[in-house]
Structure 1
C-alpha cells in the first residue's frame, strides 16, 4: 500500500469515527445534562433517541444520494455539517436546541459512514481487506474509548467538551480528504436529468416520513405516560397515532418499488430475517448496559465522570481484544458456537448486575463490563458472518442495510427500556430491575441461538480455498 493510499485511509477513518464516537461519549454525559438543564431522566434520554433515529434514516438515504451527487461531495459535506453542529451544540440556549444540533450532528456523521467504506474500496485497489479492517478499527475503537474520552472531557470541561472535541478531527479529516479523495466521476446522463421529485421517490421519501413520524409519536406516547406517572387520553392518542402511522409505513413499504426498508426481503429470506432479529436483540442487551451502567455509577454510586470513563474502558478493551480472537474461532468452527457463548456471557453479566447492591465494590462492576465486552466482540464478528452465510450474493447490499437498521433499532429499544424502567429519576431499584429484564432477554437469546441450530437456519460457516 503506497503513501497516498495510507493517507486516504487515515483521512476517511478520521471522518467515519465521529458517528460511533459521538454515540458513545454521551453515555457518560446523561447525568450532567440532566442536572444542567434541570430535566428528568426520561426527557434527557431523547438525546440518545434522536441520534439513533436520525442515523437510521440518514445512513441509507445518504448512501443512495452518493450515487447521484458523488461520494466525495457527500463525505466533505458531512464534515462541514458535523463541524457546524459541534460548534453550535455547546451554545444551545435550551435542551430543545441541543436536540436539534444533535440531530444535525447525526446526519452529518452518517453521511461519512455511508460513503467512507465505498471510497476506500473504490480508490484503494491493493490490500483492500487490510484497508477495510483498518476502517473497522477506527469505528470500533472510537465506540470503545468513547465513554472514557467523554468522562475525561466532562470532568474538566463539562458536557460541551464532548462536542468541541469533534472539531480537530473534522478539520484534519477535511483538509486531508480535500487533497486525498479523488474527484467524483461525472454523473451519467440519467443521473444529470433526474429531477428532485424522482430522487425523492428513489430514496422513498414517503416511507422515511411515515417511519420517522410513527416511531417518534409512539415514543412520545410511551415516554410521556411513564414520565408523568399517569396515563392520559392525550398520551394514549399520541401512541395510537404512532402505531397507525407505522402500520401505514409497513403497507407502503410492501407496495413501493424502491422501499426505504425492503420488508419483502424478510418474507422471502427467513434466514436473513432471523439474523436481523437476533442482532437487534443483541444490541438491546448491549446498549441497555452501555447507557445504563454509567448512569448507575454516577447517580447511584456517585462516581465521577472521569472514573466512570476509566471503568467503562473495560467494556471497550475486552471487545477489541475478543474481536480478532472471534474471527479465528469462527473461521474454524462457524458462527454458531461463538454466538452461543456470547449469549451465555450476556446471561452471566445480566445476573451479575442483579447481585450488585449499593455497597458492592465499584471494581466488581468490571465483571459485568468484561462479560458484555467479550460478548460484544464475539457478536460483532459472529453476526456479520451469520449474515454473509444466510444472505444470497444478489441481495448482500440490501441485507447489509437491514443489518445496520437492526443495530439502530436495538439501540433505540434499549434506550426506551431504560427510560420506562427508570422514569424521571435513575435509581438503584430501577437498575436492579433492569438487570432482571436483561437476564430474561439474554435467556431468550440463548434459545434463539440454539433454535437456529435445530432448525438449520444457520449452518456451519466454512472458509475453504
Structure 2
C-alpha cells in the first residue's frame, strides 16, 4: 500500500487514490497573479497617462513591459521548476509580486511604474509552471491520469480573472485611484506566501547536469530584441531584428549541442502537434488582448466613458467567459473548442466594425459578451492539448513556454494597439484594430480545421519519475 502524504509534506495528507485538494488554493491563487495584473491595467492606462502627461504610445509600455518580462521569465522559471521542484520557485516568485506592488504604489514617474511592471512579470512567472508540475506530480503519485478537473479549475480561474480584471480594475480605481491596481498585489502576495508555505510539498527536484545559463541568456536576448522592435518598428531600429536573429542562431546552436539544454529543440522540433498548439495560443491571445486593450481604451476615449464605467461595460465579457468555461471545463474536446472559439472570434471581430461613437449601449455590451465565449474556450483547449502533447519530464518548461506564446500574443496586441492609436483611441483606429484581429482569428481557424490529430488526444497512464 502506498503511504499517505505525511512523508512528503510533514502533515497528514489525503489518500493516494485522489488528488491532494489542499494544493488547489495556492496553485490557483498563484497562477492568477499574472492575468489579473495583465487585465486590470487595461482601464488604468488612460488615468495613468493623464497623471504623467503620456500618450497611449508611451503608456502601452506598461503592458509591453510586463509581457516582455513574462515571455522570458515563464520558460526560465518552468525549467527551474522542473529541475529544483515547485515550492521554492513559487515562494520566491510570489514574494517578488508583493515587492513590485509596493514599488508601483509609490512610483513617482512612468518609468518607475514600468520598472515595477517588469518585476511583476518576473514574479508572476513561477506559479503557473509550478502548478502544472504539481498536477503532473499528483498524477504520478496516484497512478491515475485524470487531470481534466484540476486543469479546468486552473483554466477557468485564469480565464475568469483575465476577463474580470478590467471590471475589478475599474472598481479599484473608482475607490482609490489608479495606484490601487498596484497596491492590491501586496495582500495577494501575502496570501500566496502563507498558502504556499503551509501546503506546497517539499518535493525533490529533477536536476541533471546544471542550469543552461548561456541558453537562457540567448533566449532572453532574442525575445527582448524582437519585442523591442515590434513595439516600435522603425527603419532606424534595424539593428534590433538583426540582434534577435543572431541570438536565435546562437541559441539554436547552443541548445542542439549541450546534453541538458534549457529548451530541448530536438524534442520540440519533432513534436509538431505541440508546436501547432503554441501557434494557436499565440493567435488566440493576440486577438483576445487586442480586444481587451483596444476596446477598453476606445470605450474611455472614443465613447467617453469613465474608467470605472468602461470596466463595468466589460462585465458581459466576464460573464460569458466564466459561464462557458464552467460548463465545458471538464470535457477536453480540444478540436471542438478551438473550432468554435475561432469561429466566434471571427464573428465578434466583424461585429466590432459596426461599433461607433453613437452606438447604443446594448451593442457595446453584446460585442463583449460574444467575444467572451472564445476567451473561455481557447485557453481551456490549448492547456489540455499541451498536457497531452508535452514530455512529462518537462511539463513545467512546456507550460512556461505556452505562457510565453500567450504573452507574445499580448505583446503583438499591444504593438498593434499603439500603431492603430498613435495619439488617441478613436473609432477609425478601433476599426483598423478589428480588421487586424479578424485576420488573426481567420488564421487560427485555418490552423485548426485540417488538424484531425486534435480529436484523438486521449488520457494516458502517467509515468513515474
Which TM-score band (shorter chain)? 0.7 to 0.9
In the alignment, what sits opposite 1:228? none
1:4-403 counterparts in 2 under 5 A?
9-66=24-81, 71-119=86-134, 129=147, 133-182=152-201, 184=202, 199=210, 202=211, 204-224=212-232, 231=234, 233=236, 235-327=237-329, 334-388=333-387, 399-403=398-402
TM-score normalised over the length of structure 2 = 0.83
* Greater per-residue helix proportion: 1
The answer to whether the 8 A contact 2:82-2:397 is kept is no
The answer to whether the 8 A contact 2:156-2:325 is kept is no
Structure 1 residues 290, 459: closer, same or farther in 2, change over 3 A?
same
The answer to whether the 8 A contact 2:32-2:161 is kept is yes
Cα distance, 1:293 vs structure 2? 1.0
Q: Distance in 1 between matches of 2:81 and 2:263?
A: 18
Q: Which range moves more in the overlay, 128-137 or 13-22? A: 128-137
Q: Distance in 2 between matches of 1:121 and 1:214?
A: 30
**2:449 aligned counterpart, secondary structure:** helix
The answer to whether the 8 A contact 2:156-2:376 is kept is no
The answer to whether the 8 A contact 1:271-1:391 is kept is no
**1:93 aligned counterpart, secondary structure:** coil
In the alignment, what sits opposite 1:444? 443
TM-score normalised over the length of structure 1 = 0.83
Structure 1 residues 133, 461: closer, same or farther in 2, change over 3 A?
closer
Q: Distance in 2 between matches of 1:450 and 1:11?
A: 37
Q: Distance in 1 between matches of 2:334 and 2:129?
A: 26
Q: Which range moves more in the overlay, 370-379 or 292-301? A: 370-379
- Cα deviation digits, residues 9-48 of structure 1 (max 9, x gap): 3344333322221111111111122222222222221211
The answer to whether the 8 A contact 1:266-1:272 is kept is yes
* Alignment gaps of 5+ in structure 2: 6-11, 15-19
Cα distance, 1:440 vs structure 2? 2.2
Cα distance, 1:432 vs structure 2? 0.7
